[in-house]
Chain A
Amino acid sequence: MSSMTPAAGGDVTRTVARGTGTPLAGYLFRLRALIVLAILVFIFTALSPAFLTPGNLTILVKHVAINAILAVGMTLVILSGGIDLSVGSIAGLAGIVAGGLIHSGLALPSFGVKVYFHTWLVIALALLVGAAAGAANGLLVSRLRVAPFIATLGSMYVARGAAMLMSNGATFANLSGSVELGNTGFLTLGSGQVLGLPLPIWLMLAVALSGVFLAERTPFGRRVYAIGGNERAAELSGVRVARNKFFVYVISGFCAALVGLIIAAQLGAAHPATGETFELNAIAAVVLGGTSLMGGRGSVGGTITGAFVIGVLADGLILLGVSEFWQIVIKGLVIVVAVILDQMQQRYALKAAAALRG
C-alpha cells in the first residue's frame, strides 16, 4: 500500500470512502471506534443508572484524560513509523522530579543549601525533563539509527531506574507545598476546576486539539505521515527525516511528563513506579483509533475515540462491579476485535482502490 501512494498513505481510505459507489461500508469502517463507543455507552446506561450522569461522565473523562494525553504523543510517534515504550516511565520520572523539588527542594552540596522553586518553575522543569528524555529517544532513533522499539525499551528502564534513584525508591508524600517556600498550589493541577470541569480535562482538550492541528494542518504533520508511509520516498522528496522524527519523540516525552504531573498532583504524592504499563494502554488507544502500527495511516481524532473506548469500558465495568479478571479479558477482546476490523478495512480499501483504477 505504501508503495502505491508513498507520501500520502493516510489519504487512501478517505479517497475510497468518497469515491466508490457504495461508501456506506467504508464510512462504517472508518467510524468503527465511534460505533463501538456508542454501543458501550448504550449498554452501560441500560445496566447502571449511575453511568449517564454528569458527575460520572466528568470523572470518566478525567480518567480518559490520562491515557488520551499519552496516546496523542504516541499517535505522532506511531504515524512516523516508530513506537515509544518509555512514556510510562517518563511519566513516573517527571512526577518524581516535581515531587522531589516540592518535597525536599534541590540540594546544592557545594553551597550547602537547598533551593526550593516556585510551583510554576517546578512544573516547567518536570516538563523539560520529559521533553529531554523524549529528545534522548529522538536522537537514538533518528541519528544513531537504533530501532525505536529497542531505543525506547532502553530508555524505559533508564527513566524508571532514574526515578527510583532520585527518590531512593520512596514516595514523596504531601505535595501541598508550604507558603514560606512559595511552592503551594501544585495539587490544583490534579484537582482544580475551570468552568466546572476538572483541570485534567482541559489539559486533555488542549493536547488533543494541538495534536489534531499538528497532524492535519501543519507541514510538520504532513511530513510525519510521509515518513511513516514510506521513509525512503519521503527522504528523496526532500523531507528532513531525522529532524522530524526527533521532534515526534520530544512531543511524546512532553505529553508523558504532563501525565506524570497530573497523577502526582491528583494523589498529592509522587511514587517512582507510577505509570507502569501505561505505554500499553496508550498503544491500545492508538490502535483502537485506527492508526496503523506500520505508520503513515491514522489520526489523532481516532486515538481520542480509542482512549474513550478503553476508559468507558474500564469505568463502566467497575460501576457494574465486574471482577478485575473479567475486566482484563474484556479489554483484550475489544482490542483484538478492533484490529480485526482494521485489517478488514485495509483489504476493503485496497480492493476499492483497485476497482477505481479499473
Chain B
Amino acid sequence: MNFRTLVAALAAASVIVMAGCGTRESSGKKLIAIITPSNDNPFFKAEAETAAAEARKLGYETSVNSHDDDAHKQDQLVDAAIAHGAVAIILDNAGADSSVTAVSKAKAAGIPSFLIDREINAKGVAAAQIVSNNYQGATIGAQEFVRLMGEKGDYVELVGRESDTNAGIRTRGFHDVLDKYDGLRLASRQSANWSQAEAYQKVETIIQGNRNIKGVIAGNDTMALGASAALKNAGLEKVIVVGFDGSPDAIASILSGGIKATVLQPAATIARLAVEQAHKFLTAGSTGMPEKQAIDCELVTPVNAGQFGLFGRK
C-alpha cells in the first residue's frame, strides 16, 4: 500500500466535506441566507430544503448552512451572510438567549431575520418568529397517550436534552394532561438527549426495575423509536409508545404497527411561511403578521398516517 495515495485520498475527502458545508450558487439574484441546526436530523433538513426551494421559486438565490447548535458558529454564519449582502436571513437559531446578539447584528446591518422552529428571548429584533406550537402539540400527544393507556397504568417519560427549551415545553404539555389522571403513574423519567441509541439503552435498564410498564411517552420520535426497538427486543411489543415530531421514520413505524402515535410539527409549512413573509417584507415593507406566530401541530395515528409526507400533509 502506498501511503501517499491514501494521504491524497484523505485530503480530497476533507475538501469534499468542506465543500459540502456550504452551497451557494452565484448569479445576479438577491440572496436569502438559510441557517439551521445540523442536517443529520431529517427535521432540520426538511426545513432547510423547503425554505431553499420556496426562495428559489420566488426568484432568490440561496445559501444553506448549518450552525450545529453552536452559537459561536451561528454568529460567524450571520457575519458571512451580512458580508455576502444577503437581503434576508431564515434562521432556526442555536439558543433562545445566545442568538439575540446575532439577530440584532443582522438587524443593525439592515437585514431582517425570519426565525423558524425556535424562538428567541427578545421582541422587536426579528421580523418574524414562526414556531410550531410545541405546547399544543404535547397536549394532543398526551391526550392520545391517555386514551391508548385506558387512563391507567405505569408509564415512562423520555425527555429530550434538558437544556433545550422545547424539551421543557413538551414535558410541561405532557404533564398538564397526564397529571390529571390518578390512574396513571410515572414509573421513571429520564433524559435520553433526543438520541435513539441512548433511549434504547435507558429503556432496557428502566424495564428491569419496572416490569409493569404499560406505555412510554417520548419528547421526540428518535427516542420513541429507540424505546420501541428496546421493548421489541425484550418481548414487550404491547407497550404503547408515543413520540413527537412526525418524522418519516416514525410515520413508517406507525404504519407498520410499531409506535402508536406521534405529533407532527409542520416544519415544512413553517419554512414556507417564513420565506413567503420575507418576500412580502422585502417587497411591501411589512409581513402584515404579528412577530410571534405559533402554528398548530397535528396528531398522527395509524388511521391518518398515510396522509402525511415530509413534515407536512402530502
Closest Cβ neighbor of A167 among chain B residues: B40
Give the CA-CA distance A143 to B2 in the complex, in Å.
11
Write out the residue numbers on chain A whose beta carbons fall within 8 Å of the beta carbon of B3.
139, 143-144
**Counting chain B CB atoms within 10 Å of each CB, which of A62, A139, A154 scores highest?**
A139
Write out the residue numbers on chain A whose beta carbons fall within 8 Å of the beta carbon of B249.
171, 173, 269
Write out the residue numbers on chain A whose beta carbons fall within 8 Å of the beta carbon of B257.
none
With contacts A63-B201, A267-B226 known, is A170 near B17, CB below 8 A?
no
B72 within 8 A of A: no
Give the CA-CA distance A248 to B47 in the complex, in Å.
43
B202 within 8 A of A: yes
A318 near B202: Cβ-Cβ < 8 Å: yes
| Cβ-neighbour of A272 out of B40, B159, B252 (below 8 A) | B40
Binary CB contact string for chain B from 187 to 208 against chain A (1 if under 8 A, 0 otherwise): 0111101001100111011101
Q: Within A297-330, which residues are at the interface with B (CB < 8 Å)?
A: 315, 318-319, 321, 323-325
Q: Within A148-167, which residues are at the interface with B (CB < 8 Å)?
A: 154-155, 157-158, 161-162, 164-165
A170 near B42: Cβ-Cβ < 8 Å: yes
Give the CA-CA distance A274 to B193 in the complex, in Å.
13
With contacts A158-B13, A267-B226, A271-B196 known, is A315 near B39, CB below 8 A?
no
Which one, A48-56, A121-129, A231-239, is touching chain B? A48-56
A191 near B205: Cβ-Cβ < 8 Å: no
Count of chain A to chain B residue pairs whose CB atoms are closer than 8 Å in the complex:
111
Binary CB contact string for chain B from 6 to 28 against chain A (1 if under 8 A, 0 otherwise): 11001001101100100000000
> How distant is A145 from chain B, measured CB to nearest CB, in Å?
12
A162 near B191: Cβ-Cβ < 8 Å: no
Write out the residue numbers on chain A whose beta carbons fall within 8 Å of the beta carbon of B190.
318, 321, 324
A321 near B188: Cβ-Cβ < 8 Å: yes
Q: Within B231-262, which residues are at the interface with A (CB < 8 Å)?
A: 233, 249, 252
**Counting chain B CB atoms within 10 Å of each CB, which of A62, A157, A321 scores highest?**
A321
B208 near A63: Cβ-Cβ < 8 Å: no
Closest Cβ neighbor of B252 among chain A residues: A173
Give the CA-CA distance A60 to B202 in the complex, in Å.
10
B200 near A319: Cβ-Cβ < 8 Å: no
A162 near B229: Cβ-Cβ < 8 Å: no
> How distant is A199 from chain B, measured CB to nearest CB, in Å?
12
| Cβ-neighbour of A319 out of B1, B13, B20, B206 (below 8 A) | B206
- For chain B, the count of residues having a C-beta within 8 Å of the partner chain is 41
| Cβ-neighbour of A158 out of B14, B188, B202 (below 8 A) | B14
B162 within 8 A of A: yes
Give the CA-CA distance A50 to B62 in the complex, in Å.
56
Write out the residue numbers on chain B whose beta carbons fall within 8 Å of the beta carbon of A319.
205-206, 208-209
With contacts A170-B42, A272-B40, A324-B191 known, is A59 near B205, CB below 8 A?
yes
Interface on chain A toward B: helix, strand, loop, or mixed SS? helix
B20 near A161: Cβ-Cβ < 8 Å: yes
Write out the residue numbers on chain B whose beta carbons fall within 8 Å of the beta carbon of A207.
none
Give the CA-CA distance A161 to B17 in the complex, in Å.
6
> How distant is A338 from chain B, measured CB to nearest CB, in Å?
23
Give the CA-CA distance A60 to B201 in the complex, in Å.
9
Give chain B's interface residues, CB within 8 Å of chain A.
1, 3, 6-7, 10, 13-14, 16-17, 20, 38-42, 45, 159, 162, 188-191, 193, 196-197, 200-202, 204-206, 208-210, 222, 225-226, 229, 233, 249, 252
Contact sample, A vs B, 20 pairs, CB 8 Å cutoff: A48-B209, A56-B209, A158-B13, A161-B13, A161-B17, A162-B17, A165-B16, A169-B42, A171-B196, A171-B249, A174-B252, A269-B249, A271-B197, A318-B190, A318-B205, A319-B208, A319-B209, A323-B191, A324-B159, A325-B162
Known contacts A318-B188, A321-B190; 5 additional CB pairs below 8 A are: A59-B205, A171-B42, A171-B196, A271-B222, A321-B188
Give chain A's interface residues, CB within 8 Å of chain B.
48, 50-51, 53, 55-56, 59-60, 62-63, 135-136, 139-140, 143-144, 154-155, 157-158, 161-162, 164-165, 169-171, 173-174, 190-191, 263, 266-269, 271-274, 315, 318-319, 321, 323-325
